[in-house]
Amino acid sequence: MDVAIDVRNLKKSFNSTEVFRDFSISVDQGKITAIFGPNGSGKSTLLNILSGIVTKDGGSFHIDNFSHFEFSYIFQNYRESLLPWRTNFENVALPLEIQSKSKVEIRRRIEELQTIFELKIDWDRYPYELSGGQQQILAFIRALATKPKVLFIDEPFSALDYENNLRLRERLQKYYLAFKPTILLITHNIEEAVHLAEKIAVFSQRPTKVLETFDNPLLYPRTIQSLKSPEFDQVKDRVLSLFQRAANL
Amino acid sequence: MKRYTIIGPILLILLWAAIAQLQLIDKFFLPDPFTTVARLVELISEGAILDDIIATLGRVLLAFLISLAVGLPLGLLLGRAEKVYRSIEFIIDFFRSTPATALFPLFLLVFGVTDKSKIAVAAFASMLIIIFNTAYGVMHAKKSRVLAAQIMGATKAQIFRWILFWESLPQTFIGLRSAISLSLVIIVVTEMFIGTNSGLGRRIIDSQIIYEIPTMYAAILLTGIIGYLLNLLFLIVEKRFLHWSGKN
Boundary (domain end) residue, out of A115, A132, A148 = A148
Tell whether A121 and A241 lie within a shared domain. Answer: no
Q: What integer pLDDT is reported at residue B128 of this predicted model?
A: 96
* Domain-located, residue B183: yes
Q: What gap in Å lies between CA A65 and CA A244, rounded to an integer?
A: 37
Tell whether A55 and A154 lie within a shared domain. Answer: yes
Tell whether A9 and A47 lie within a shared domain. Answer: yes
Tell whether A163 and A56 lie within a shared domain. Answer: yes
Chain B residues 146-165 with CB within 8 Å of chain A: 147-155, 158, 162-163
Q: Do A67 and B247 touch (CB under 8 A)?
A: no
Tell whether A165 and A223 lie within a shared domain. Answer: yes
Q: What gap in Å lies between CA A175 and CA A140, rounded to an integer?
A: 11
* Domain-located, residue A72: no
Give how many domains chain A has, as a whole number: 2
Query: How many angstroms separate the CA of residue A129 from the nearest CA in chain B?
Result: 9
Q: What integer pLDDT is reported at residue B4 of this predicted model?
A: 87
Tell whether A60 and A154 lie within a shared domain. Answer: yes
Boundary (domain end) residue, out of A124, A148, A172 = A148
Tell whether A55 and A138 lie within a shared domain. Answer: no
* Domain-located, residue A98: yes
Q: Which residues pair with A32 in a beta bridge?
A: A183
Query: How many angstroms separate the CA of residue B122 from the nearest CA in chain A?
Result: 32
* Domain-located, residue B1: no
Query: How many angstroms separate the CA of residue B80 from the nearest CA in chain A?
Result: 19
Q: What is the pLDDT of residues B90-148, one digit of tens each?
A: 999 999 999 988 998 899 899 988 889 999 999 999 999 999 999 999 999 888 899 99
Tell whether A60 and A87 lie within a shared domain. Answer: no
Domain at B70, CATH number: 1.10.3720.10
Residues of B in contact with A53 (CB under 8 A): 147, 150-151
* Domain-located, residue B145: no
Give how many domains chain B has, as a whole number: 1
Tell whether A10 and A95 lie within a shared domain. Answer: no
Tell whether A209 and A243 lie within a shared domain. Answer: yes
Give the range with max mean pLDDT: A62-76, B19-33, B39-53, B60-74. Answer: B60-74
Average pLDDT over residues B229-240: 93
Q: Which domain range does residue A113 map to?
A: 83-148
Domain at A203, CATH number: 3.40.50.300
Boundary (domain end) residue, out of A131, A148, A165 = A148
Average model confidence (pLDDT) for chain B? 92
